[in-house]
Amino acid sequence: MKRFLMTMVFLTALIAGLASPVLAQGQEHPRCFDETGYCVSGAILDYWEQHGGLPVFGYPITEQKIINLYDEGTRTYQDLPVQWFQRDRLEDHSTEGQGVLAGRLGAELLRLQSRPWETLPHGQRDPPGCIFFEETQHRLCEPFLSFWRNNGSLERFGYPLTEPMEATIGTWTGQVQYFERRRMEHHLEHAGTPYEVQLGLLGQEVNYSNPQFGCFLPPPPLQVMASVYRDEVGCAKPFPLERPYAVQPFERGEMLFIDGIGSRLQDVIFVRSYDQEHDTTIADEYQGDWLRDGPETLEASPPPGLWEPGSPFRRLWSDNTDVRDQLGWATGPEQMGDIWIQDFAGGAQMLYPLGSDSVYLRCCLPRQMIEIPYLDELP
């Protein structure tokens, strides 16, 4: 149960907006990351290493490539070598004599969400214990103020672009504040620890949100699958989940239990069976009381060679006659492990039980949930 590639480390006082000299070392010795499958080299690697590396920028999520970017200073577009990281976008302006610069991802993400910062409500002008910035008409208060001061202040984060606001990001909900280059998040679940204020994964979010920049990178086990089925499912969405799961085969289908992917992170059971009308496999979804502990003993015993439903499925199977009639008895014991869940922009969803030779694909008819062969290399 983890947010893909989130690192529990924090920033030192580092500067994102300063130019970095072009050094030969990064060009000659690229650094590659098995976690995402991408390498960093050249001036961008030198900047990445000199200004904080993994704790500050996160892992690379794309290769280095030329992108046509809008320069707000000159109000013109220019083609630049850039590389995306989990928390940032690094841009190589060496041909202009500026070295490597960090992108204004806080401002970009707000614009991509159709809420440009210039249109948002302003803050109180003289709040006690806070700083008010005339440039953007927003205030900066604790706990974000101390983090801003101690970790690079204006050069690292830029000006605040919003007031503190509640936001839901992936599976987490809490107070956030946007800055020109970053988003700060107040994690009350880590109150009193160095991890109470964290930086958002803006590189991932902007890269995904803008089709110009391509797709978000899925977790390594599903990268090939996402590439092969791109035309059918669209771009991968951010925040894939890894969850515990259990599965059990039945005479006329199977039951699949996943820990905490439903609404409000409830556990969920999928009942899969064959739909003759549409000639496909469908899945019905169950949450809530259906997942309470089932009876220790059932009213009937399975015939020889068949099995009772396992503990995650016992209540639903015993109390819901439609499910019981639909599936019959189990044909084997439940199996448990971990499963990756990846959502896609087109509404599809892939569920991959680690170590399995198949992937569940929820697409493209209502309730459809088929199995497709798992691929870990391009055909």
Note the pLDDT of residue 26.
Answer: 45
| Of the residues 182, 217, 252, the one at which a domain ends | 217
| Of the residues 217, 239, 274, the one at which a domain ends | 217
Quickly tell me which residue has 């679940």 as its tokens: 189
Q: What angle do CA 264, 182, 160 make, to 5 degrees?
A: 105
10 or 282, greater pLDDT: 282
Which residue, 57, 49, 44, is CA-closest to 7? 57
Integer angstrom CA distances of residue 307 from 105, 106, 149, 241, 255: 54, 55, 62, 31, 13
> What does the pLDDT average to over 233-260?
91
261 and 317 belong to one structural domain: yes
Which residue, 125, 166, 164, is CA-closest to 147? 164
73 and 129 belong to one structural domain: yes
pLDDT value at 360 more than 80: yes
Lookup: tokens for 14: 């580092």
Q: Does any domain span residue 300? A: yes
255 and 189 belong to one structural domain: no
Alpha-carbon distance of 178 to 110, in angstroms, equals 8
| Of the residues 171, 190, 217, the one at which a domain ends | 217
Q: Does any domain span residue 379? A: no
Integer angstrom CA distances of residue 185 from 148, 277, 316: 12, 49, 39
Residues 159-208 pLDDT 10s:
999 999 999 887 788 999 999 999 999 999 999 998 999 999 999 888 86
Residues 338-357 pLDDT 10s:
999 999 877 899 999 999 99
pLDDT band at 212 (very low <50, low <70, confident <90, very high): low
> What does the pLDDT average to over 53-74?
83
The total of other beta-carbon atoms located within 10 Å of residue 373's CB is 8
Alpha-carbon distance of 84 to 73, in angstroms, equals 21
Among the residue ranges 29-38, 130-139, 232-241, 272-281, the one predicted with the least confidence is 232-241
Note the pLDDT of residue 320.
Answer: 95
Give the count of domains, the chain.
2
137 and 154 belong to one structural domain: yes
Report whether 15 contacts 88 (CB < 8 A).
no
195 and 286 belong to one structural domain: no
Specify the pTM. 0.53
298 and 326 belong to one structural domain: yes
pLDDT value at 5 more than 60: no
Among the residue ranges 12-21, 125-134, 287-296, 362-371, the one predicted with the least confidence is 12-21
Q: Does any domain span residue 94? A: yes
Alpha-carbon distance of 145 to 154, in angstroms, equals 11
145 and 227 belong to one structural domain: no
Residues 96-144 pLDDT 10s:
888 999 999 999 888 877 788 998 999 888 788 999 999 999 999 999 9
Alpha-carbon distance of 262 to 87, in angstroms, equals 27
**Percent of the chain with pLDDT strictly greater than 70:** 87
Q: Residue 368, class by beta-carbon neighbours within 10 Å (0-12 exposed, 13-18 middle, 19+ buried)?
A: middle
- Domain range for 153: 1-217
Integer angstrom CA distances of residue 355 from 101, 336, 348: 41, 11, 22
Alpha-carbon distance of 104 to 89, in angstroms, equals 8
pLDDT value at 56 more than 90: no
Mean pLDDT of the chain: 85
pLDDT value at 213 more than 80: no
